[in-house]
A and B are shown apart, each in its own frame.
Chain A
Amino acid sequence: MQVLLPDSFSEACKFLADDRERIALAGGTDLLAGWPQRQDRHEATYIDLSKLAELKTITWQEDALVLGAMTTFWDVLCDARVRDELPLLATVARRIGALQIQTRGTWAGNVANASPSADGAAVLMAHDAVLELVSVDGEEHVPLSGFYLGWKRTRRRNDQLIRAIRIPRRRNSVQAFEKVGIRAAQSVSILSLTIACSAAGWRVVAGGMAPCVTRWPSLERLIESATPIGSPAELLPSVRADLSPIDDLRSSAAYRERVLARVAFSKLSQVCPQIHGRL
């Protein structure tokens, strides 16, 4: 096993271009879990990005907040300006794992890891985040909502690295994040629901409900069209249209489906007058 130590992001891209099987290492909170037993992982070559200060940045551009690839959940939590302007990012960051995970875990790593339950990816997607994917051949900007292609499959070519995440600077008039886990902290989401409404419209993102974190377009349309909804059951067709929960070690499809409908109904009934009724 070997770990390459690039002096710069562009050197990291070069290392990756030399051998596309090399694996980028950021915070390590996913890659290193169960490390001594995961001997299969000990044979690979890694590119350590964790010391690249040029990537650990929070930059305010005129129309976007740009998070460098090594920016951690804790970095965002501690930034008063982010808390003020994009509060949902901080709300979600503090629900991920616990303190020791938040201090090392990166937004970019969370996105690249492509867990179907990724909370960071979910809130970023609800903000129309765009990824800067860079290789030695150039760069492209890919909206996160189009980044996931299936279970653990993404638009990232294996010679590309995420350099930064661009978040449009829009104020949300409505925003909410609900996470359902196996306990109150230190819990991978069984399911999550992120809702945001800005000048760009409604965004609803579901986690743990499909092979990847995903937008929930039929619910967005239901909201935008002010369709009256009188109970969670009336949301089930929309759940089934766009989402495909499964049974796994943490939970069942039946629970996920029913609870997502209830959580969505309850949340939306607080902000949409046409959505109201008994749980």
Chain B
Amino acid sequence: MNRRDGMSKLTGRERFIDDLPVDSCWWGMTVRSPAPRGRIRAIRFGPGVDWSAFAVVDAGDIPGANCIRHVGDDQPALASDAVRHVHEPILLIAHPSRRAVRRAVREVEVVIDPEPPLLDYRIPPTPDQIQHGNDNVFAEVSIEKGRVEGAFASAAHRVEGVYETGSQEHAYLENQGMLAWIEDGVVTVQGSMQCPYYVHHALVHALGRSADQVRVIQAATGGGFGGKEDFPSILGVHTALLALKSGRPVKMIYDRSEDMAATPKRHPSRIRHRTALDVSGRLLAQDIEILLDGGAYSTLSPFVLSRAAIHAPGPYACDNVRVRGRVVLSNAVPFGAFRGFGAPQAHFAGERQMDVVAAALAIDPAELRRRNLVRDGQSLVTGQTIVDGADRVALLDRALELASYAAKREAHRDFNDKHPYLRRGLGLASYHHGSGISGLGVDWLDSRVKVMGLPDGRIEVLTAATEVGQGTTTILAKLAADRLRIDPDRVDVAPPDTARVLDSGPTVASRTAMVVGKLVEDACDDLRRRVELGPMAGGDAVFAAIVAWHRAHPGLRLLGEARYRRPAKQSWEPTLHHGAPYAAYAWATQVAEVEVDLRTYAARVLDFVSVQDAGRILDDALARGQVAGGVAQSIGWALFEECVWKQGALENHQLSSYAVPTSCDVPPIRIEFVECPYGDGGQGAKGLGELPANGPAAAIANAIADATGCDPRSIPLTPERLMAAMEGGGR
């Protein structure tokens, strides 16, 4: 089965928001803070511009609350007095000519009275740097299992390590863009996004309108990876404000350098592990401290912290675990969702620590993991007993086999001995990813889905799940078609438009196939009942039953509906972070083979193997695409994608200076699936989209350690940083 939007994309017919022609559309741009922290003293409009021809919006023009509602309410839509980061939006301007707007934005001078900015999240704030609460802490978490201190006291081995990860830019190929217009009193916003209902909530709140006075439509979206999870709420509000002020449709399309400079990125992390083991290398206790940089506003940070904390101890059985974490403010562009959402950071630290432990105990890294991987019947840090039938040791062994681990290690010893300047090594990572939104977030979402039987006998699936490249429309159509036992050609998937679809929740957290897909199946069952079809009826019988129903009920709509109900076994106590935060976990082991050039300190990945259990695989090509893409992104995060910061904003904010991997930087990714179906997931699927991004960084760092004998503790391992790790000095 080919993806249903494939030909449209290959022929260039797919219409992204910048491709949609709009009559008498104005162009909008943003005037931003030049300083990382301070108070706006003055805004000066340059003399060379006819400002009367522009629509200008400031905080005073916001009809509702000057706030972008995510979870917290601390982020203004437009700064009016205090600014907390470089590029913070202050004014919006619009004009019929895009060229004129570009010119005019440079002619607005914003004068800031500076205040001392906090630019290193690892350094505790001085009293005059407190900007949130009384301690700059956006969120804290503490998880306890068993008794950690006693276990450390009596342990045969104790190993400690501190690990840091840098930020990462999403670099989706389609820049952020939005179009807003007012039609029949309804403010409509259309554009590139992952979560139409997030944008809808933000608009209702900022514009002070009721839900039916706001409409949000997702346009074809060229990549998201989390970067279009919360930011579109800001751009949507901005575009809508300009549309209201000007009385015109307004388009805002960021160019690449603005997008990279001003939008959220991955949370930087610093994680400290203390690990206690017995003589045979079995985990006795884990004591983990997590510090995340949240940037200037809290946005989604509490959830990123939660996932990081839950995943930090790794997929291992250990009776005594303590995880404490904080996410703190800094005067950087706020950090936000990025594929993995705290788990990549957690697993880099955890899986690098495992190799550090292995070296300290002189145990083979694979064997150390084999001894400690959680078996069915054992529990993870929140007390959740794992009983899913997945053989995580077999997964590890299969990855090693596919990677020719033993044979290659032998070959590398020989190679490294002989070659004047190249060194090869292997490294692995075993890890997990909880599918779906953590903890009670699922209830709060109250996800709902509809499946419509149309008068002509066709089926239409109505959800708010967005296609951003991962294959949503293909998968949901397949699930509906399979459930109704009809051909997928008879199924349409409605474009996510809040005027037509209910809120099935955001397209995040690897939940679409598993959670929304299951709801689609349930809605199909409901539809079947409404047309009084037996469970095995399919094909033309379904078509005939729908047509007959419409003849019997002229003018009515035939809808099957479904609403999310949390599985009984998923119970959660948020304060203690105790219980079952996820109904299912996906598991994986990855093996990286690297080659380091000792002349230049450049590492390259020669081979990469990823073996994973993500439940039932619904479409092989789509699933492989997710794994290869996730691995490549994390290869970039591990080796190439250094964020150079200046005053809390990205200095290398161009694709020529920020090193997203090219086809020459990534080897063929070798992928295998092991399927342990999850009963409450769409056709048995678990989450897959984020899983592959969690492991590569540690696997690569471990491989570099194996190749060179050095001991890296942070990423990215760019040549300069590897030089510093190996020789000292450098930058």
Report if A and B touch in the complex (beta carbons < 8 A): yes
Taking Cβ atoms with an 8 Å cutoff, the residues of A that contact B are 33-34, 36-37, 39, 98, 180, 182-188, 247, 249-252, 254-255, 258-259, 262-263, 266, 269, 279
**Contact A180/B600 with A37-B257, A254-B730, A255-B723 known, Cβ cut-off 8 Å:** yes
Taken together as a complex, chains A and B put the C-alpha atoms of A33 and B256 apart, in Å, by: 12
**Contact A185/B731 with A258-B723, A263-B599 known, Cβ cut-off 8 Å:** no
List of B residues within 8 angstroms of A247 by Cβ: 731
Taken together as a complex, chains A and B put the C-alpha atoms of A269 and B604 apart, in Å, by: 24
Measured CB to CB, the closest approach of chain B to A44, in angstroms, equals 16
Taken together as a complex, chains A and B put the C-alpha atoms of A243 and B718 apart, in Å, by: 24
B11 interface contact, C-beta 8 A: no
Counting from the closest, the 8 A-B pairs by CB-CB distance are A184-B664, A185-B664, A252-B731, A182-B659, A262-B599, A185-B662, A183-B659, A255-B720
Q: Is B657 in contact with A183, judged by CB distance below 8 angstroms? A: no
In chain B between 655 and 691, which residues have their CB closer than 8 angstroms to a CB of chain A? 656-657, 659, 661-665
List of A residues within 8 angstroms of B661 by Cβ: 183
Taken together as a complex, chains A and B put the C-alpha atoms of A37 and B654 apart, in Å, by: 13
Taken together as a complex, chains A and B put the C-alpha atoms of A252 and B599 apart, in Å, by: 16
Q: Is A249 in contact with B420, judged by CB distance below 8 angstroms? A: no
B316 interface contact, C-beta 8 A: no
List of A residues within 8 angstroms of B654 by Cβ: 34
Q: Is A36 in contact with B657, judged by CB distance below 8 angstroms? A: no
Measured CB to CB, the closest approach of chain A to B535, in angstroms, equals 54
List of A residues within 8 angstroms of B599 by Cβ: 259, 262-263, 266, 279
B342 interface contact, C-beta 8 A: no
List of B residues within 8 angstroms of A98 by Cβ: 662
Q: Is B730 in contact with A255, judged by CB distance below 8 angstroms? A: yes
List of B residues within 8 angstroms of A254 by Cβ: 729-731
Taken together as a complex, chains A and B put the C-alpha atoms of A279 and B596 apart, in Å, by: 14
List of B residues within 8 angstroms of A184 by Cβ: 604, 662, 664-665
Q: Is A36 in contact with B662, judged by CB distance below 8 angstroms? A: no
A-B contact list, 27 entries, CB within 8 Å:
A34-B654, A36-B99, A36-B102, A39-B103, A180-B600, A182-B640, A182-B659, A183-B665, A184-B665, A185-B662, A188-B656, A247-B731, A249-B644, A249-B652, A249-B657, A251-B720, A252-B720, A254-B729, A254-B731, A255-B723, A255-B731, A259-B600, A263-B599, A266-B420, A266-B421, A279-B420, A279-B598
Interface size counted on chain B using CB atoms at 8 A:
34
B719 interface contact, C-beta 8 A: yes
Q: Is B257 in contact with A34, judged by CB distance below 8 angstroms? A: yes
**Contact A185/B663 with A36-B255, A249-B651 known, Cβ cut-off 8 Å:** yes
Q: Is B665 in contact with A255, judged by CB distance below 8 angstroms? A: no
Q: Is B102 in contact with A37, judged by CB distance below 8 angstroms? A: yes
Taken together as a complex, chains A and B put the C-alpha atoms of A255 and B602 apart, in Å, by: 12
Q: Is B662 in contact with A183, judged by CB distance below 8 angstroms? A: yes
Q: Is A37 in contact with B255, judged by CB distance below 8 angstroms? A: yes
List of B residues within 8 angstroms of A262 by Cβ: 421, 598-600
Chain B residue nearest to A184 (CB atoms) is B664
B231 interface contact, C-beta 8 A: no
Measured CB to CB, the closest approach of chain A to B271, in angstroms, equals 27
Chain A residue nearest to B661 (CB atoms) is A183
Measured CB to CB, the closest approach of chain B to A206, in angstroms, equals 15
Chain B residue nearest to A259 (CB atoms) is B600
Q: Is B657 in contact with A250, judged by CB distance below 8 angstroms? A: yes
List of A residues within 8 angstroms of B663 by Cβ: 185
Taken together as a complex, chains A and B put the C-alpha atoms of A254 and B719 apart, in Å, by: 12
Taken together as a complex, chains A and B put the C-alpha atoms of A254 and B723 apart, in Å, by: 10
Chain A residue nearest to B646 (CB atoms) is A249
List of B residues within 8 angstroms of A266 by Cβ: 420-421, 599
Return the contact of B719 from the options A36, A37, A180 (Cβ within 8 A).
Answer: A180
List of A residues within 8 angstroms of B659 by Cβ: 182-183, 187
List of A residues within 8 angstroms of B729 by Cβ: 254
B138 interface contact, C-beta 8 A: no
Taken together as a complex, chains A and B put the C-alpha atoms of A49 and B630 apart, in Å, by: 44
Return the contact of A255 from the options B421, B651, B657, B719 (Cβ within 8 A).
Answer: B719
Taken together as a complex, chains A and B put the C-alpha atoms of A185 and B659 apart, in Å, by: 10
Taken together as a complex, chains A and B put the C-alpha atoms of A187 and B719 apart, in Å, by: 14
List of B residues within 8 angstroms of A250 by Cβ: 657
Measured CB to CB, the closest approach of chain B to A35, in angstroms, equals 11
B601 interface contact, C-beta 8 A: yes
Measured CB to CB, the closest approach of chain A to B166, in angstroms, equals 15
In chain B between 231 and 286, which residues have their CB closer than 8 angstroms to a CB of chain A? 255, 257
Taken together as a complex, chains A and B put the C-alpha atoms of A182 and B659 apart, in Å, by: 6
List of B residues within 8 angstroms of A185 by Cβ: 662-665
List of A residues within 8 angstroms of B598 by Cβ: 262, 279
List of A residues within 8 angstroms of B657 by Cβ: 182, 249-250
List of B residues within 8 angstroms of A255 by Cβ: 719-720, 723, 730-731
Q: Is B600 in contact with A279, judged by CB distance below 8 angstroms? A: no
In chain B between 607 and 640, which residues have their CB closer than 8 angstroms to a CB of chain A? 640
Taken together as a complex, chains A and B put the C-alpha atoms of A249 and B656 apart, in Å, by: 11
Of B99, B600, B640, B730, most A-chain CB atoms within 10 Å: B600
Taken together as a complex, chains A and B put the C-alpha atoms of A249 and B604 apart, in Å, by: 22
Taken together as a complex, chains A and B put the C-alpha atoms of A259 and B644 apart, in Å, by: 21
List of A residues within 8 angstroms of B103 by Cβ: 39
Chain B residue nearest to A269 (CB atoms) is B420
Measured CB to CB, the closest approach of chain A to B415, in angstroms, equals 16
Known: A39-B99, A249-B652, A255-B731. 20 other contacts (CB 8 A): A39-B103, A182-B640, A182-B659, A183-B662, A183-B665, A184-B662, A185-B663, A185-B665, A186-B656, A186-B662, A187-B659, A249-B644, A249-B651, A252-B731, A254-B730, A254-B731, A258-B723, A262-B599, A266-B420, A279-B420
Chain A residue nearest to B636 (CB atoms) is A183
Taken together as a complex, chains A and B put the C-alpha atoms of A187 and B657 apart, in Å, by: 9
List of B residues within 8 angstroms of A252 by Cβ: 720, 730-731
Measured CB to CB, the closest approach of chain B to A136, in angstroms, equals 36
List of A residues within 8 angstroms of B600 by Cβ: 180, 259, 262-263
Measured CB to CB, the closest approach of chain A to B651, in angstroms, equals 6
Measured CB to CB, the closest approach of chain B to A34, in angstroms, equals 7
Measured CB to CB, the closest approach of chain A to B171, in angstroms, equals 13
0/1 per residue, B91-103, Cβ < 8 Å to A? 0000000010011
Q: Is A279 in contact with B421, judged by CB distance below 8 angstroms? A: yes
Measured CB to CB, the closest approach of chain B to A220, in angstroms, equals 20
In chain B between 545 and 604, which residues have their CB closer than 8 angstroms to a CB of chain A? 598-602, 604
Taken together as a complex, chains A and B put the C-alpha atoms of A98 and B655 apart, in Å, by: 14
Q: Is B720 in contact with A39, judged by CB distance below 8 angstroms? A: no
Taken together as a complex, chains A and B put the C-alpha atoms of A185 and B661 apart, in Å, by: 9
Measured CB to CB, the closest approach of chain A to B727, in angstroms, equals 8
Chain B residue nearest to A39 (CB atoms) is B103
Measured CB to CB, the closest approach of chain B to A43, in angstroms, equals 11
List of A residues within 8 angstroms of B665 by Cβ: 183-185
0/1 per residue, B121-136, Cβ < 8 Å to A? 0000000000000000
Taken together as a complex, chains A and B put the C-alpha atoms of A249 and B602 apart, in Å, by: 18
Measured CB to CB, the closest approach of chain A to B516, in angstroms, equals 36
Measured CB to CB, the closest approach of chain A to B253, in angstroms, equals 11
Of A34, A186, A249, A251, most B-chain CB atoms within 10 Å: A186
List of B residues within 8 angstroms of A186 by Cβ: 656, 662
Taken together as a complex, chains A and B put the C-alpha atoms of A259 and B729 apart, in Å, by: 13
Taken together as a complex, chains A and B put the C-alpha atoms of A134 and B657 apart, in Å, by: 35
Taken together as a complex, chains A and B put the C-alpha atoms of A185 and B720 apart, in Å, by: 18
Taken together as a complex, chains A and B put the C-alpha atoms of A249 and B642 apart, in Å, by: 11
Measured CB to CB, the closest approach of chain B to A89, in angstroms, equals 21
Measured CB to CB, the closest approach of chain B to A209, in angstroms, equals 14
List of B residues within 8 angstroms of A187 by Cβ: 659
Measured CB to CB, the closest approach of chain A to B27, in angstroms, equals 12
Measured CB to CB, the closest approach of chain B to A270, in angstroms, equals 9
Measured CB to CB, the closest approach of chain A to B497, in angstroms, equals 31
Chain B residue nearest to A258 (CB atoms) is B723
Q: Is B601 in contact with A259, judged by CB distance below 8 angstroms? A: yes
Measured CB to CB, the closest approach of chain A to B407, in angstroms, equals 26
Chain A residue nearest to B660 (CB atoms) is A183
Taken together as a complex, chains A and B put the C-alpha atoms of A34 and B656 apart, in Å, by: 11
Chain B residue nearest to A256 (CB atoms) is B720
Taken together as a complex, chains A and B put the C-alpha atoms of A183 and B602 apart, in Å, by: 9
Measured CB to CB, the closest approach of chain B to A249, in angstroms, equals 6
